[in-house]
Structure 1
Amino acid sequence: MPKTAVVALGGNVLTLEGQSGTYVEQELNALHMAETVCSLRDAGWNVVLVHGNGPQVGNLAIQQEQGEPLVPQQPLFCLGSMTQGQIGSILTLALRRVGGSRIPDVASLVTHVVVEADDPAMDRPTKPIGPFFDADQATLLANQRGWSVAEDAGRGYRRVVPSPEPTRIVEAGVIKTLVDSGVIVVAAGGGGVPVVRQDKGYTGVDAVIDKDYAAQQLATALKADALVLVTGVERVLLDFGTPQQRPVREMTAEEAERHLGDGQFPEGSMGPKVRAALRFIRNGGEAAVITTPRLVQASLDAEAKADADVGTRIVTSRTQVGATR
């Protein structure tokens, strides 16, 4: 029976640093990610693809604001659903173009993710969205539009919005049915549309869920074998920015927990990815991988040699000889 991998890629994988986010740019970037997914399928994996939407939803929010009063502005959670459709379409077309007859079917599913209305994060905006601004631009926009802004990893200032914890994937059962049928599924895009439970169904809330946490929730619900967190660096680094900086090929959940507690993985960069990986492992997952698209397939190979070119694997127990501790 094929194994299942939930693969999470950031919105910045589709809009690279220095790009403005045109459709053509995103389309070309999606083709590179499609190569990775198709190689996983060729290796016998079922794949669920989760994507971020930080650049895209922020850009769309600006368009919404600029469009008033000609057209009514839509709430942030609604923009999340719009970008799910937008990016889902780009990824689906890329997969079909790259995979051809190797890909039996692809489905992009607008996904709703339950959060708690009283989550403290609703009152503490931390999730960056949209383009980067310098300090003066950010201050001006914050005053003009009532934004919360914050510096993002030394690259400039961005708008920040609430990012509550996901507690359940509403469409998890439907996604499992599709995966079990051999369909490549694009789901929980942008972390999913955040909703809260009411007496009669659900209602949307203005927030953006971290896509790595949503991917973990989905991977756990599907009882997936692997969680893959795609990022811009090949391996997690310990003592980043110091003369002792070194990459990690493999670490146990216990080691990752200790490094996280020691402050090795800041919240603004690698922290959410390592935390999502730990949650997956603690909830029964076999392995979590953090790496670039190029190394995804090799990193999922449990039989990879100690000197193989792989990303960072977080596992329940030590499996590779000579891995960096």
Structure 2
Amino acid sequence: MKKLAVVAIGGNAVNRPGEKPTAQNMIKNLSETASYIVNMLDEYDIAITHGNGPQVGNLLIQQEIAKNKIPPFPIDVNDAQTQGSLGYMIAQTLNNCLKEKGRKREISALITQIIVDKNDPAFENPTKPVGPFYTKEEAEELEREKGWKIVEDAGRGWRRVVPSPKPLDIIEKDVIKLLMKNDVIVIAAGGGGIPVVLEDGRLKGVEAVIDKDRASALLAKEIGADVLIILTGVEKVYLNYGKEDQKALDRLTVSDAKKHLKEGHFPKGSMGPKIEAAIDFVEATGKECLITDMSVLDKALRGETGTRIIKG
């Protein structure tokens, strides 16, 4: 019997550093990603998640340029748009790769809404930078007009920040389970899912961004995954990363992961959310989380590389 895996693909799978974010480049990169994922299909049934930060950012910049002609959409709608565009690209490249290998599988990219708590503390303290840079004058005007929180971003200008609330429940989880039971490769929870709240029993989108690794852990728990695989730009997790005494980790217990996280080894903007997601999944299920680079995924699945986060 095949194992069930949630595979979270990182930004490098879509855009390479220094590369123009054109649709052609994204499809080229995702074609390579697809080949690694297709190699898993003999042993795993797969749900795929993906980020969308740069794509939502670019969409917000496009909206800013065109705002005098076309009214801008809120961020939850932008999330939905990028789930659609990236889901289409991932599904198409997977389909093409399967055909090249003489295989046949159904693939479905699913628009995914995720419930968050409207009283989540993140709404009182927005921290996630999104969209274009503004001058100080523009920032002050937008704060007055729209009630946005805008902060200075490392001396490069002023930028909007939005909340990043904790994901609580996936609206489409039963559909995802049904598709997977019928041997469908599912692409879901793109960009961390579209954040929604419940108001008087009705769903309402909110302007926020859910961390895609936290959403991937939630999806993995909801569908009973045997393993959560987080693909990123490094082969293993490191202590003292980038320093002379950096140390690669083959295995990492939950207790050690918490300790190293508290010590600051895993920064908030990079490895931190991945380790938090791994802890969440492993603590809740007793299963393993694998963190590695997609180029060595085959070796990592055989236990030859990558970092495994385990109980303990």
TM-score w.r.t. structure 1 length?
0.87
Q: Which residue of 2 aligns with 1:18?
A: 18
TM-fit CA distance, 1:73? 1.3
Q: Which residue of 2 aligns with 1:97?
A: 96
Tell me which stretches of 4 or more aligned residues in structure 1 moved more than 6 Å: 154-158
**Coordinate RMSD, CA, aligned:** 2.3
User: Does 168-177 or 64-73 show the bigger shift?
Assistant: 64-73
Deviations 1:53-105 (A, max 9, x none): 00000110111222222122111101100000000000000000111142411
Q: Using the alignment, how far apart are the partners of 1:268 and 1:156 within structure 2?
A: 19
Q: Which residue of 1 aligns with 2:33?
A: 33
> Is the Cα–Cα contact under 8 Å of residues 251 and 314 in structure 1 kept in the other structure?
yes
Q: Which residue of 2 aligns with 1:316?
A: 311
TM-fit CA distance, 1:129? 3.7
Q: Which residue of 2 aligns with 1:272?
A: 273
Q: Which amino acid aligns with 2:56?
A: V
The reply to whether residue 261 of structure 1 matches residue 262 of structure 2 is yes
TM-score w.r.t. structure 2 length?
0.90
The reply to whether residue 61 of structure 1 matches residue 60 of structure 2 is yes
Q: Aligned residues: percent identity? A: 42
Q: Using the alignment, how far apart are the partners of 1:9 and 1:57 within structure 2?
A: 16
Q: Which residue of 2 aligns with 1:209?
A: 210
TM-fit CA distance, 1:241? 3.5
The secondary structure found in structure 1 opposite 2:6 is strand
1:64-213 aligned within 5 A: 64-100=63-99, 101-130=102-131, 142=139, 145-146=142-143, 148-149=150-151, 151=153, 159-213=160-214
**Can you give the 5+ residue segments of structure 2 that lack an aligned partner in the other structure?**
144-148
Q: Using the alignment, how far apart are the partners of 1:30 and 1:59 within structure 2?
A: 18
> Is the Cα–Cα contact under 8 Å of residues 125 and 148 in structure 1 kept in the other structure?
no
Q: Using the alignment, how far apart are the partners of 1:239 and 1:290 within structure 2?
A: 17
TM-fit CA distance, 1:138? 6.9
Aligned length: 305
> Is the Cα–Cα contact under 8 Å of residues 235 and 311 in structure 1 kept in the other structure?
yes
TM-fit CA distance, 1:244? 1.8
TM-fit CA distance, 1:156? 10
> Is the Cα–Cα contact under 8 Å of residues 139 and 159 in structure 2 kept in the other structure?
no
Deviations 1:232-283 (A, max 9, x none): 1111110224332111111122221221122211212111100100100001
> Is the Cα–Cα contact under 8 Å of residues 166 and 214 in structure 2 kept in the other structure?
yes
